[in-house]
Copies of this chain bind each other. A is one copy, B any other.
Amino acid sequence: MRATYMYGAGDVRVIDVPDPIIKEPTDAIVRVVRACVCGSDLHPYHSMPVTPGGSSIGHEFVGVVEDTGAEVSSVKAGDFVIAPFAWSDGTCDFCREGLQTSCRHGGFWNSGEVGGGQAEAVRVPLADGTLVAVPVAEDSPLVPSLLTLSDVYGTGYHAAIKAHVNPRTSVTVVGDGAVGLLAVLAARQLGAEQIVLMGRHAARTDLGREFGASDVVAERGEEGITRVRELTGGDGTHVVLEAVGHMPAYEQAVGVVRAGGVISRVGVPQYDDAPVGFPSLFGPNITLTGGPAPARAYIETLLPGVLDGSVNPGRVFDLELPLADIADAYRAMDNRESLKVLIRP
């Protein structure tokens, strides 16, 4: 089959690899119907050292089950399924607590003997815990929105849930990528009314307004902080959802959060150390939370709105390309011509 490998910064190729096969009785093989490129895939796209053997990539996909191991009972061949971006047993204490990204027996795509989602097919370990079958046809117009449940919608929702967004909280979202826009959508669903979206790409922030942003701030740095404070009587917002991962976004978050408030990060941090001392977090009693979203935990919650059409998170996709052209998808997202690219194997 064909699968995407990255060989270093800027070097993405589609190569032939052996078809995945059932290795454990708890495995399923899923033929990929749609995959996509994640903002977090752009981090190695910028920084991966040259790696002669390459590394498979991709962690968001929906597809159709082709085969299952003897112990798999919750999905069967022919089922349309959503695969969250971590695989998990669904039964350990962490999974029962809704933290499937810390599952005692789980893991992430593209590690060990598990391939990536930007491919024609994937071996899914612990299929019963990982996959969610959805009663739709693979040519359903809902497929793009269902695909967002594998990562970006769940990630935006995780940011808002960890920050306890509710009708009484004002919210700033830092970043107008797909996760930022879906953090806006999630905050709105959880009842927030004032939602300030910080982003400078009008097409994206326009979609953010449709998802529920009440205000858009295009300025960055000190100017951006001043603007958000002006919009909030000088105080900043109770909650900041940080959906970028670079240090300036962290600093922005610290600059616009209200005393006693919460900064919830879902952009994968590209730094180790950050200010957390008296002036930044401690003095004003700011809480810092977030992490990789247990996307699996949120699928049941978010699926009904997708299925009944009341939300359409799939609108974050503004380009669709065949798998063979995935290098163009990375380029288009990297130079910000495209918000998020749908990949058709």
**Which residues on B sit within 8 Å (CB–CB) of A275?**
272-273
**Which residues on B sit within 8 Å (CB–CB) of A283?**
291-292
A276 touches which of B101, B259, B269, B284 (Cβ 8 Å): B269
**Which residues on B sit within 8 Å (CB–CB) of A260?**
94, 97, 99, 102
Q: Does A286 contact B (CB under 8 A)?
A: yes
In residues 231-289 of chain A, which contact B (Cβ within 8 Å)? Answer: 259-260, 265, 268-269, 271-289
Whether B288 pairs with A292 at a CB distance below 8 angstroms is: no
Whether B291 pairs with A285 at a CB distance below 8 angstroms is: yes
Whether A289 pairs with B291 at a CB distance below 8 angstroms is: no
- How far in angstroms is the closest Cβ of chain B from A196? 19
Q: Does A290 contact B (CB under 8 A)?
A: yes
- Given A99-B285, A288-B287, do A273 and B277 touch, yes or no (CB 8 Å)? yes
Closest to A293 in B: B285
Q: Does A76 contact B (CB under 8 A)?
A: no
Whether B284 pairs with A277 at a CB distance below 8 angstroms is: no
**Which residues on B sit within 8 Å (CB–CB) of A162?**
285, 287
In residues 279-322 of chain A, which contact B (Cβ within 8 Å)? Answer: 279-292, 294
In residues 70-101 of chain A, which contact B (Cβ within 8 Å)? Answer: 94, 97, 99, 101
Complex Cα distance, B287 from A141, in Å, reads 38
Whether B282 pairs with A292 at a CB distance below 8 angstroms is: yes
Closest to A102 in B: B259
Whether A265 pairs with B285 at a CB distance below 8 angstroms is: no
- Given A97-B260, A259-B102, A287-B162, do A265 and B282 touch, yes or no (CB 8 Å)? yes
Whether B290 pairs with A288 at a CB distance below 8 angstroms is: no
**Which residues on B sit within 8 Å (CB–CB) of A272?**
275-280
Complex Cα distance, B272 from A322, in Å, reads 48
Q: 9 closest Cβ contacts across the A-B interface?
A: A285-B291, A272-B277, A102-B259, A287-B289, A273-B273, A99-B260, A288-B288, A269-B277, A274-B276
A-B contact pairs, 7 of them (CB 8 A): A269-B276, A272-B280, A273-B275, A274-B274, A285-B294, A286-B291, A287-B287
Residues of A within 8 A of B (CB): 94, 97, 99, 101-102, 162, 259-260, 265, 268-269, 271-292, 294
Please name 14 further chain A to chain B contacts, defined as beta carbons within 8 Å, in addition to the given A99-B260, A268-B278, A288-B289, sorted by A numbering. Answer: A94-B260, A99-B259, A101-B285, A102-B259, A102-B260, A102-B285, A269-B282, A271-B277, A274-B276, A281-B288, A281-B291, A285-B292, A287-B289, A288-B288
